[in-house]
Structure 1
Amino acid sequence: MSIQRLEAGRRMSGAVVHGDTVYLSGQVGNAGDDVTQQTVTVLERVDALLAAAGTDKSKLLQATIWLADMNDFGAMNAVWDAWVDPANTPARATGESKLAAPDYLVEIIVVAAR
């Protein structure tokens, strides 16, 4: 079975397609933006990568969301709830973690079917 790598770089790929499963790397927003805008940016990037892989958010299987501060849970969820397909919500986990840079407030990782 073939493996396709999208936006492949030296350290990681933006997405990897194996068979009918699409794995996205963790997506982050623009440093300095608030958590609401970072979440909007992240989900726009998720949409773009899923489209490049031949799928969309209606085929999400799993989402893992990392927040730098769980106090931002409500603000992030407001954006997520407006974006996610309500008929096809994925399995999801959200936790608090120190992210790669202090200005990143949210990171989202998804797995989807094609």
Structure 2
Amino acid sequence: MIERMETGQRMSKIVKHNGVAYLCGQVGSGDTVAEQTKDCLSRVDALLEKAGSSRTRILQAIVWVSDMADFAEMNAVWDAWVPAGHAPARACGEAKLARPSLLVEVIVTAACD
């Protein structure tokens, strides 16, 4: 069975299937990549909770930054957010994001209830 949560015409914020939750890409607000990453990860936390999951159950994360010069600053926030011993498989790359003001976007797949 496939369960779609917070579904609109274009996308669902969460899709659950066979014990896995797929979250849509999350962005955050703020002027710096650190501020946007903190806000973005807070939004990931909220969606994980709605999906019946948590940070400790993340299987994979894909991180897009608008400029790889911000990689270390984003990683400092990411490293403080990921629980010790629960680092997911992760990829990070540079991409032109939906709006020029966006500096980071995170896409998460997690095990769920």
When normalised by structure 2's length, the TM-score is 0.96
Moved over 4 A (4+): none
Per-residue CA deviation, residues 58-80 of structure 1 (Å, 9 max, x unaligned), is: 00100000000001001100100
Identity of aligned residues (%): 56
**Aligned mates of 1:36, 1:88 — CA distance in 2:** 21
The Cα shift of 1:3 comes to: 1.3
**Aligned mates of 2:109, 2:84 — CA distance in 1:** 17
Q: How does 1:1-114 map to 2 (within 5 A)?
A: 2-30=1-29, 33-114=31-112
**Aligned mates of 2:101, 2:32 — CA distance in 1:** 9
The Cα shift of 1:85 comes to: 1.3
The Cα shift of 1:6 comes to: 1.6
Per-residue CA deviation, residues 34-92 of structure 1 (Å, 9 max, x unaligned), is: 11110001100000000000010100100000000001001100100000012111000
Task: Output the amino acid matched with 1:8.
Answer: T
**Aligned mates of 1:42, 1:7 — CA distance in 2:** 17
The Cα shift of 1:33 comes to: 2.3
**Aligned mates of 2:16, 2:31 — CA distance in 1:** 30
Unpaired segments of 5 or more residues in structure 2?
none
**Aligned mates of 1:19, 1:98 — CA distance in 2:** 32
When normalised by structure 1's length, the TM-score is 0.95
| Number of residue equivalences | 112
Quote the RMSD (CA, aligned, Å): 0.9
Unpaired segments of 5 or more residues in structure 1?
none
**Aligned mates of 2:22, 2:31 — CA distance in 1:** 26
**Aligned mates of 2:3, 2:40 — CA distance in 1:** 22
